[in-house]
Chains A and B, each alone.
Chain A
Amino acid sequence: MLEVIIIEGLIIGLILALVALGFTLVYGISGIINLAHGAYFVIGAYIYEIIRQYLSNIIPLEYYYLTPISSILITCAITSFIGSLFYRITCHHILGDEVAILIVSICSCIVFQQLIYISLGKLNAFSFRIEPIFPGKIKLINIELFAGQTIAALVSFAAFAVLSILILKTKTGKAMRALSQDVEAAMLMGISVERLYTITAAISSGLASLGGIFYTASITFGVGSYMWLTALALSFTVVILGGLGSIKGSLLGGLILGLTQIATMKIIPGSGVLQDSIPFIVIIVILLVRPKGLFGKRVEIE
């Protein structure tokens, strides 16, 4: 029982951490709370499934593993484009006005939701089943795991590693870190704020769509266009747990949240409906016990 909870919790936790990664990245670099993150989560899942259905007719059966890989790559490219475009035409003009950015991005979530409804019809907009990324199960120390979920967890771990390398080792990453420390000084050093913020938005929306694909493929009822709310609630919990704007922190927060969720599901029978509430209770309890957040960081904005 315990080892099932731990391993499944770690897998789900890695996926949740991936959902939150883009959110915390944008906050850490540009200080924007981009609620449109939830919209990219939903759009990513929809586009993935549509492309996968299309590709599965083209790609021959013996290369079946190419279908999910290529459709994930195409989806990430498309959502990155949408995300950067959206950032450039809206949020960039109101940088620094937190309320305006919050409201614009929540409005954009609603617009994207309507667009999904218009283009796919009411039934699909409410519930759209996503096939598991890879079919079948694998066995790990006499625990049966879904192959799709396990691969998703591994991919999200890889995404964390790649992103850390990108930020710590490359020149672009150095510029991003400079921007997060002091915008004006970075501008004086010849760093283009517009270009870097757009790149950040593109990366984060790509990661959001990746998280959306993995998360919705791992739950049974698929994706619905309202799920931007769920995605935002999840990513916010992870971010609060692990510390704001910190990549390592979001990994830790995701793992804690995943373990809590799986443990509750396994221990309390019939608590499937509480799935959206559990992250929330975790936050409230942590706030009451440790007001400054789990790792002693002061959880507030300057």
Chain B
Amino acid sequence: MTVIKYIRRVSADLATHIYDVPPRMLASLILILMAATPFIGILELRRLDILTHINLVAILAVSWDLLVGRTGQISLGHALFYGIGAYTTAILYQYFAWPVWITVPISAIAGFCIAILIGIPCLRFKGPYLALITMAFPLAIVGFLYYYRDIFGGETGIPRPLPGLPRIFDKLLPSQRIIANYYFSLALLTISSVIIYKIATSKTGIVFVSILDDELGSKACGINTSKYKLLSFAISGLFGSLAGAVMAHTIQTNANPRYFFEKTALIPTEYSIVPIIAAILGGLGTIYGPIIGVYIYYLLNNYIFEYLIPVDKPIKIAIFVSIIIILIIKWPRGIARTIVEKLEDLEEPREVEEILKERMRKNKPEV
């Protein structure tokens, strides 16, 4: 019994004291851990590509979170920006043969501009309607990719002659390249999530949250809400297409319609759905949540289910998505956020307990 009591006390202490650690230090600790991953030997080296992929999808998820969790403009078709990034960089390589270091930033900017172009007609809609119209966008674009086969290359995508796009670290050996890719993606994730966090906590970010809370009210305060909604959409598009462009140069080597929509895949619009699932798992509107969510999703899919419970992939996805449905219904504030809030709450009951004990001690009738 004493052991259990001791463990409970220690865990309670730990739980309260974890919260004393400044969040920046916690974040940098996690970052150091992630940076050390290739050397600890948890993973086989070739599996590091999975982590690179996770990092890039995490950028997409974070940008989705800025748009949805902070501004309240629901987009169910974020794969659109992912694909736009990949296609822009591929087109610039195919037809102008520009180097990687120019095409990737340009495709990020292209994502920004296209987001503005799309946003002007689409942000007239509110709430669920915006969600639906954005969901249909990737679908519509795929039709054009097939129709203008000469330019966009149809199913196989561009660039046409193999081996496709140049990789970012072209001069390194394949084994070194995997590590370099991982660090590059990690750096990119860190930088872009810090930038998005800064935006979200800046004055502009506060305006975004005000639109989420009460659009009419913020309009009444003299805020040009359409401008800020458009800005949020555009920033989100910028980072989304940055992730897509880097993806086309590291893990994939071409841009194909699969970025938008794939009929034969188990989840036809994977890059639209995964950010949503991740943000729900991690907690909507927290910038750190989606990153954790993406890691949970892919690591569960790739490791836990593969080694511990070996089942077919569709069964895996069905189980996973059902769990998410249950989570949304029963635990609607996200796993990461709920845990953080539980940690915050841990302090209070302890204090109350102590106060009660003190009172009991005081009120004890002295014999």
Give the residues in chain A near B125, CB-CB below 8 Å: 299-300
CA A283 to CA B122, docked complex, whole Å? 10
A246 at the interface (CB under 8 A from B): no
Question: Which residues of B lie under 8 Å from residue A111 when comparing CB positions?
Answer: 318, 321-322, 325
Does A107 belong to the interface (CB within 8 Å)? yes
A278 to B140, CA, bound (A): 8
- Give the docked Cα–Cα distance between A106 and B135 (Å): 10
CA distance A299 to B128 in the complex (A): 12
- Tell whether B139 is near chain A: CB-to-CB under 8 Å: yes
Answer whether residue B137 sits at the interface, using C-beta atoms and an 8 A cutoff. Answer: yes
Determine the distance from Cα of A186 to Cα of B129 in the docked complex, in whole angstroms.
26
Interface stretch (choices B13-21, B143-151, B232-240): B143-151
> Any chain B CB within 8 A of the CB of A1?
no
Number of A-B contacts (CB under 8 A): 139
- Give CA–CA (A273, B324) in the complex, Å: 34
Interchain CB contact (< 8 A) of B142 among A35, A271, A276: A276
> In the assembly, what is the distance between CA of A278 and CA of B141, in Å?
10
Partner of B76, one of A93, A98, A106, A240: A106
With both beta carbons as reference points, the residue of chain B lying nearest to A291 in the complex is identified as: B124
Known contacts A103-B280, A117-B266, A299 near B315 by CB under 8 Å:
no
Q: Report the minimum CB–CB distance from A88 to chain B (whole Å).
A: 12
Q: Which of A90, A102, A103, A276 meets B140, CB within 8 Å?
A: A276
By a CB distance below 8 angstroms, the chain B residues around A276 are 139-140, 142-143
A230 in contact with B325 given A102-B76, A118-B314 (CB within 8 Å): no
B residues less than 8 Å from A236 (CB atoms) = 132-133, 136
- The answer on a CB contact under 8 Å between A106 and B273 is yes
Closest chain B residue, CB of each to CB of A115: B318
Q: Which residues from A are CB-within-8-Å of B128?
A: 33, 98, 102, 301
Contact B131 A102 (CB under 8 A): yes
The residue of chain B having its C-beta at the shortest distance from the C-beta of A127 within the complex is B263
Instruction: Tell me whether B348 is interfacial, beta carbon within 8 Å.
Output: no
Contact B143 A275 (CB under 8 A): yes
Asked whether, in the complex, the Cβ of B140 is within 8 Å of the Cβ of A281, the reply is: yes
Q: Report B129 CB to chain A, min CB distance, Å.
A: 7
**Candidate in B273, B276, B314, B315 with the most chain A CB atoms within 10 angstroms:** B314
Residue of B nearest to A292 (CB): B124
For residue A110, CB closer than 8 A to chain B, the reply is yes
Check B332 against A300 for contact (C-beta < 8 Å).
no
The count of chain B contact residues (Cβ–Cβ below 8 Å) is 50
Could you tell me which residues of chain B, from 118 to 170, have a CB within 8 Å of some CB in chain A? 121-122, 124-129, 131-133, 135-137, 139-144, 146-147
Interface centre among A107, A273, A278 (most CB of B within 10 A): A107
**For A240, what are the chain B residues with a Cβ–Cβ distance below 8 Å?**
129, 133
The answer to the question of A219 belonging to the interface, with a C-beta cut-off of 8 Å to chain B, is no
Interface size in chain A (residues, C-beta < 8 A): 52
Residue pair B317, A300 in contact (C-beta under 8 Å): no
Q: Which of A108-123 contact B (CB under 8 A)?
A: 108, 110-111, 113-115, 117-118
Contact assessment for A277 and B143 in the assembled complex, using a CB-CB cutoff below 8 Å: yes
Q: Which of B264-297 contact A (CB under 8 A)?
A: 264-269, 273, 276-277, 280, 284
Does A226 sit within 8 A of B, measured CB to CB? Answer: yes
Shortest Cβ gap from A53 to chain B (Å): 23
A106 touches B144 (CB 8 A): no
**Chain B residues in 8 Å Cβ range of A284:** 121
CB <8 Å contact, A280 and B318: no
Q: Chain A residues with Cβ under 8 A from B129's Cβ?
A: 240, 244, 299-301
Separation of A93 and B326 alpha carbons in the complex (Å): 11
Interface residues of A in 208-235 (CB under 8 A from B): 224, 226, 229-230, 232-233
Q: What is the minimal beta-carbon distance from B80 to any residue of chain A, in angstroms?
A: 12
| Residues of B close to A230: CB separation below 8 A | 139
20 CB-based A-B contacts, threshold 8 Å: A33-B128, A90-B325, A94-B332, A99-B74, A99-B284, A102-B131, A104-B328, A107-B322, A107-B324, A114-B314, A117-B266, A232-B136, A233-B135, A233-B140, A273-B143, A273-B146, A274-B146, A277-B142, A291-B124, A300-B126
Q: Which residues of A contact B (CB under 8 A)?
A: 33, 35, 90, 93-94, 97-100, 102-104, 106-108, 110-111, 113-115, 117-118, 126, 224, 226, 229-230, 232-233, 236-237, 240, 244, 270-271, 273-281, 283-284, 287-288, 291, 299-301
Residues of B with Cβ closer than 8 Å to A? Answer: 68, 74, 76, 121-122, 124-129, 131-133, 135-137, 139-144, 146-147, 261, 263-269, 273, 276-277, 280, 284, 312, 314-315, 317-318, 321-322, 324-325, 328-329, 332
What are the 8 A-B residue pairs with the smallest beta carbon separation, nearest first? A277-B143, A280-B140, A114-B318, A33-B128, A273-B146, A233-B136, A277-B140, A114-B314
